[in-house]
Structure 1
Amino acid sequence: MFEAKLIRSSLLKKVLEAVKEVVAEGNWDCSSTGISLQGMDSSHVSLVSLEMNADGFDPFRCDRNLTLGINMSKLTKIVRCSNNDDSVTIRASDSSDHVTLLFESPNQDRVSEYEMKLMDIDSESVAIPQDEHDVYVTMPSSELQRICRDLSNFGDSMNIACTKDGISFSASGDLGSGRVTLRPTSNVDKEEDQVSLEFTEPCSLTFALRYLNFFTKATPLSSTVKLLLKTDNPLVVEYAIEDFGRIRFYLAPKVEDSDDSVNQNNTDEM
């Protein structure tokens, strides 16, 4: 038997909005420690890794390891039937072919119950490198979302360049070019407004903006976002899920052609 309850369904809505553009269908792996999901997009360019620890749910019960094959869009439609302040309980028996979602209003005068059929999804876990990175950036998540949105007007790709003095984001195309540079800050009133930079080696990598804009759909989950960069390695974009979990997105850098210009059509696979 598996049962997990979140006090606010709005949190589950935000999680689903964050992952469904990258992973259309995925296996939610449930164990005594919590819920996890790992999946790649259809082009094998990006990967999402979701972790929600058991202590973020009340109650949380998982008698044995269980895998729930979920269609993200369908689950999103069901969760949207709840009010943001409703609690949501997810239930599944060990041998069931469906999952049950129970929504309860704060004063329990309204209870809604829905069942969704599970899928048999054949997926393999991807070994995620745990290498040290050259650059660690923490910045406001809303700032990253704005930068990706604004630079999408100039091109399909965005270059991220880091030095000890700061991090710059740039794009160019038929319209022209744009660049945004952020320097480390420490004298702002709110910690979530700070830009911090841990720097070992300079790096300059280019990524597809289409995927970066998908990743920034996780902005409502956290006021800050972490960027982890290393030359010739995937970019890591990490959002906290309150104090009990996280979503990490991985994106392979663009391939450069023989003329040292960015090839707009091809990317490395993860």
Structure 2
Amino acid sequence: MGNSELWKNCIGPISKLIEEAAFTFTPEGVRMKAMDPSRVALVNFELSADGFDSYDIEGKRILGMNLEEMSKFFSRAKKSDELIFSFQEGENRLVLTFKGTSIRKFTLPLIEIEEKELPEPELEFTASAKVLAGMIKDGLKDASLVTDKVRFELLNEYFLMTTESDTGSAEMKLPVGSEGLQELKVDEAARAMYNIGYLDDIINVASSNDTIEIHLGTDLPLQLDFSLAGGKGRLRFLLAPRIEAE
């Protein structure tokens, strides 16, 4: 049994980026790593067995799922529902049971997907920060009024989101000591530009009061880490930069 809200909050945004993915269930927990068709975003989902109320898996099971269809079912989950995963061996289906005031069941046909090794690139980030998700959401809304891309900057004194175009500019700054910037570590100032549409989908994983861990290097992919189930799981996104023209 698991937390239906956790899965709902993760699968919905991920399905905006990736249509199909293979989930690997082992006695230690479940993991999924996939890249979007444009190879702009890499998603890495991990949840340990301790992140479930009860967990009973023998051996290794790889389950291919259509995330768009899965997200539709999770959209029907209520916040207080318990979630039960079970597998119908003969029919090759995943059963999702939402147990609350009522008991509702959905079945999802499993699909054949090859489990691909997608090693995460070795990136030399020079700065990191822990930021409230609500602050980033506000910055993205501001930037989207101007253009479809936004620049992230981490400097010794603050975290900065900026954008500009022929129609104007927008800026959101979080100085050290502000409530929205919980931690800032800068070995070397870093800046890079990213697509707002992708960031919007990614940030929807978190509620406004959740903390997002940002890792940044100049013109490197952006790494965003979300803690799950009180630290018993993690959702990581790597987003390729939009290289700025000189």
| TM-score, shorter chain, exceeding 0.5 | yes
Q: CA deviation at 1:96?
A: 5.4
| Structure 2 Cα separation of the partners of residues 214 and 83 of structure 1 | 21
Deviation digits for residues 35-93 of structure 1 (CA, Å, limit 9, x no counterpart): 11111111101111111111011210110111111111211222233322111100125
Q: How does 1:221-232 map to 2 (within 5 A)?
A: 223-232=210-219
Query: Which residue in 1 is equivalent to 2:236?
Result: 248
RMSD: 2.0
Query: Please, which of 220, 225, 230 is the counterpart of residue 238 of structure 1?
Result: 225
Query: Which residue in 2 is equivalent to 1:31?
Result: 26
| Structure 2 Cα separation of the partners of residues 168 and 115 of structure 1 | 45
| Structure 1 Cα separation of the partners of residues 158 and 181 of structure 2 | 13
| Structure 2 Cα separation of the partners of residues 94 and 63 of structure 1 | 14
Which amino acid in structure 1 is aligned with residue 39 of structure 2? H
Alignment of 1:99 onto 2:94: yes
Q: CA deviation at 1:220?
A: 2.4
Given that residues 145 and 219 in structure 1 are in contact (C-alpha distance below 8 angstroms), is that contact kept between their aligned partners in structure 2? no
Given that residues 159 and 206 in structure 1 are in contact (C-alpha distance below 8 angstroms), is that contact kept between their aligned partners in structure 2? yes
| Structure 1 Cα separation of the partners of residues 77 and 189 of structure 2 | 47
Query: Which residue in 1 is equivalent to 2:67?
Result: 72
| Structure 2 Cα separation of the partners of residues 40 and 136 of structure 1 | 23
Q: CA deviation at 1:140?
A: 0.6
**Unaligned ranges ≥5, structure 2:** none
| Structure 1 Cα separation of the partners of residues 48 and 156 of structure 2 | 35
Alignment of 1:14 onto 2:6: no
Q: How does 1:81-100 map to 2 (within 5 A)?
A: 81-92=76-87, 97-100=92-95
| Structure 1 Cα separation of the partners of residues 190 and 227 of structure 2 | 25
Given that residues 221 and 242 in structure 1 are in contact (C-alpha distance below 8 angstroms), is that contact kept between their aligned partners in structure 2? no
Q: In percent, how many aligned pairs have the same letter?
A: 22
Deviation digits for residues 6-32 of structure 1 (CA, Å, limit 9, x no counterpart): 1x4222211112311111111111111
| Structure 1 Cα separation of the partners of residues 188 and 43 of structure 2 | 26
How many residue pairs get matched?
245
Given that residues 27 and 60 in structure 2 are in contact (C-alpha distance below 8 angstroms), is that contact kept between their aligned partners in structure 1? yes
Query: Please, which of 48, 54, 58 is the counterpart of residue 63 of structure 1?
Result: 58
| Structure 2 Cα separation of the partners of residues 245 and 221 of structure 1 | 19
Q: 1:240 to 1:36 in 2, by over 3 A?
A: same
Q: What TM-score does the superposition give when structure 2 sets the normalisation length?
A: 0.92
Q: What TM-score does the superposition give when structure 1 sets the normalisation length?
A: 0.84
